[in-house]
Amino acid sequence: MPVNFNTNVRKGRMRVFTCTSFVGVWPVGTAAIIVADNKSQAEMLLRKELRRRRLKQPKDLTLDLEEVPTHDERVLVLLDGEY
């Protein structure tokens, strides 16, 4: 499925979050990067995108969103192939 980059442009600092706790197409690891104003908006945006992709999630699923500090250089490996 093609990546849908939202073209909405906002002024001000946005925050970056990662999530690896949602259910994907196959029973392997998943990863998403979300750019949003805050954590609750990030969760809402991710859930909306998962619905758009028709990726049904368990009703009791808690999305573990982690904010990525952006004040210094860093690398986050979301999935390295290790189960």
pTM: 0.79
Establish if 27 belongs to a structural domain.
yes
Q: What gap in Å lies between CA 22 and CA 10, rounded to an integer?
A: 27
The whole domain housing 57 covers 15-68
Interval 51-76: pLDDT, tens: 999 999 999 999 999 999 999 998 98
**Could you tell me if residue 19 is inside a domain?**
yes
Query: In this predicted structure, what is the pLDDT of residue 10?
Result: 61
In a domain, 21, yes or no: yes
Q: What DSSP character marks residue 69?
A: P
Task: Give just the sign of the alpha carbon dihedral 46, 50, 51, 53.
Answer: positive
Distance CA 37, CA 40 (A): 9
Residue 37 belongs to a domain: yes
26 in any annotated domain: yes
Residue 5 lies in a domain: no
Q: Provide the number of structural domains found in the chain.
A: 1
pLDDT at 38 over 60: yes
Angle 15-5-26 (CA atoms, 0-180°, nearest 5)?
90
